[in-house]
Structure 1
Amino acid sequence: MNLPDNPDVAFGVHPDLGVAAAVVDDRPHLDKVLRKHHFRYSQDLDVYLLPEGTPHNTAVRTVAAATREFQDAGHTVAVDPRIMLPPPIPTPDGVTARTTQPGQSLTALTGELHELRRSADVAEVLEQILDEHHGAVGDLEEFIDTAAAWCERLDTPGGRELGQHLRTVAHHVAFLGDRLADAQLDLSVMPDVTPKDAPPLADVPLPKRYEVPSVTHTARARAAVASSPKRPADLPAAPEEAPHSTAASPSPRRTR
């Protein structure tokens, strides 16, 4: 794609202030669209900035949405690809931070599957998801572990219990990664090629998923007061339910 030499709008990254937008001239429509997407004009810097503390993913989605709106109106837009680079994850002193890279889109990888014909090619897509350092499975496991640590930091019975539950979920994610790795290995050695007369993948019905009943507010309230080995004994259980405790045995954790 050839970017315009003099775009109507340009998005970039300010080293201290985050994502910024600059416009070629004072056009009311450009200002209106940027303000609609929460950019505010800085007269001192002569650029538009997102509010301080805007999360990285929110900033990326905002730039994408504003860009589409500008292009639909016939404006030219240039975007610095460094906007896609997430900030480093905080680490303890002495621990090297992971190198930041643009996140992989599972939606895009799913779209790739529709164009593939060979088993080995599907295995390569799965390998991207399972990559030890930047794969979606490992990232999800780390996210859940971090959420568990956040809950435990509350230093309350409920926080510690929820943290333990989330760590069990992280173990299940690790187990899922192991099973996907088995499938990836099988695909990599399969010589199979999709027949030329096979129907498009979009026409092949997907298997029915098990529908998980929605959790109502009442059910959440009952769960909040239900007895548990981690909860103080003086908290009563909901009258409709007998006290009980079920704990899933965690699966072996992958080494990341």
Structure 2
Amino acid sequence: MNLPYEPDVAFGVHPDLGVGAAVADDQPHLDEVLRKHHFRYSQDLDVYLLPEGTPHNTAVRTVAAATREFQDAGLSVAADPRIMLPPPVPTPDGVTARKTQPGQSLTALTGELHELRRSADVADVLEQILDEHHGAGGALEEFIDTAAAWCERLDTPGGRELGQHLRTIAHHVASLGDRLADAQLDLSAMADVTPKDGPPLADVPLPKRHNVPSVTHTTRARAAVTSSTKRPDGLPAAPGEAPHSRDPAPSPRRTR
């Protein structure tokens, strides 16, 4: 990467060593910030490296956090854009690997919606979510399937049960994708009705969302121990749950 000037700090990525940082001057502040964000100096290579095996998302967040700190101190920072490119996802033999592309986050796509005025443009953004190769919907379904495979690999009753539960969730995600595809088609065929002189969405206050009651840990615990047929004898009741009587319930009387 050729730069017209020499930055104080430059972040790059090596195919074998991972994400690294090079500094222009031997300043204590640069060393302090990099070590604070878990970079360690390599005497042989004269660069700072993240620990081996650092996950991709963790490395990206680390570079972003260190960059903000350097810039707040008035220092110049350069970063190789390839740092943002996620690693390929392992696939079984004979299955085409999913292409990895940066910048397809839901946050970025939601931000785009605030600047759009035509329904066809909104349909284009929604199509990116539904894209078969690098859309967020397919990526979420693949992530849940992979998590299910991880649970099943435990080869325990609990692992197999949770794996099946996750695969059911993945099925719901696929069904949601079908519904979003229907909405995307409707948007693509919808006539544009937004006034040309109307304010952008970013200037219009969004309506309040309906509050959905959250499931608390107490509620989860109570449901787990009351609805399960495998609840062992003598297990204490969930917090706030009244003790159950062991006497059989009286048979209802039949009346004419």
Q: Same fold (TM over 0.5)?
A: yes
**Residue type of the alignment partner of 2:53:** G
| CA RMSD of superposed structures (Å) | 2.4
- Other structure's SS at 2:104 match: coil
Shift of 1:197: 4.4
Once residues 164 and 226 of structure 1 are traced to their aligned partners in structure 2, the CA distance between those partners, rounded to angstroms, is: 21
Check whether the contact 1:60–1:84 (CA below 8 A) recurs between aligned residues.
yes
Check whether the contact 2:20–2:48 (CA below 8 A) recurs between aligned residues.
yes
Aligned length: 237
**Residue type of the alignment partner of 1:155:** D
Check whether the contact 2:117–2:200 (CA below 8 A) recurs between aligned residues.
no
Return closer, same or farther for 1:235/1:159 CA change in 2, 3 Å cut-off: farther
Once residues 174 and 93 of structure 2 are traced to their aligned partners in structure 1, the CA distance between those partners, rounded to angstroms, is: 26
Return closer, same or farther for 1:226/1:162 CA change in 2, 3 Å cut-off: farther
Return closer, same or farther for 1:228/1:153 CA change in 2, 3 Å cut-off: farther
Question: Any stretches of 5+ residues in structure 2 without a counterpart?
Answer: 245-256
Equivalence for 2:153: 153
Once residues 116 and 133 of structure 1 are traced to their aligned partners in structure 2, the CA distance between those partners, rounded to angstroms, is: 24
**Residue type of the alignment partner of 2:210:** R
TM-score norm. by structure 1 comes to 0.83
Structure 1 window deviating more from structure 2 (144-153 vs 99-108): it is 99-108
Equivalence for 1:186: 186
Return closer, same or farther for 1:26/1:144 CA change in 2, 3 Å cut-off: same
Equivalence for 1:169: 169
TM-score norm. by structure 2 comes to 0.83
Check whether the contact 1:4–1:77 (CA below 8 A) recurs between aligned residues.
no
Q: Does 1:81 align with 2:81?
A: yes
Question: Any stretches of 5+ residues in structure 1 without a counterpart?
Answer: 243-256
Once residues 69 and 227 of structure 1 are traced to their aligned partners in structure 2, the CA distance between those partners, rounded to angstroms, is: 50
- Other structure's SS at 1:75 match: coil
Max Rg structure: 2
**Residue type of the alignment partner of 1:64:** A
- Tell me which of the two structures has the higher relative contact order, counting C-alpha pairs closer than 8 angstroms and 6 or more residues apart: 1
Q: Percent identity?
A: 81
Q: Deviations over 1:52-90 (max 9, x none)?
A: 111100101111111122122221111111111111112
Aligned ranges for residues 24-103 of structure 1 at < 5 Å?
24-103=24-103
Return closer, same or farther for 1:34/1:211 CA change in 2, 3 Å cut-off: same
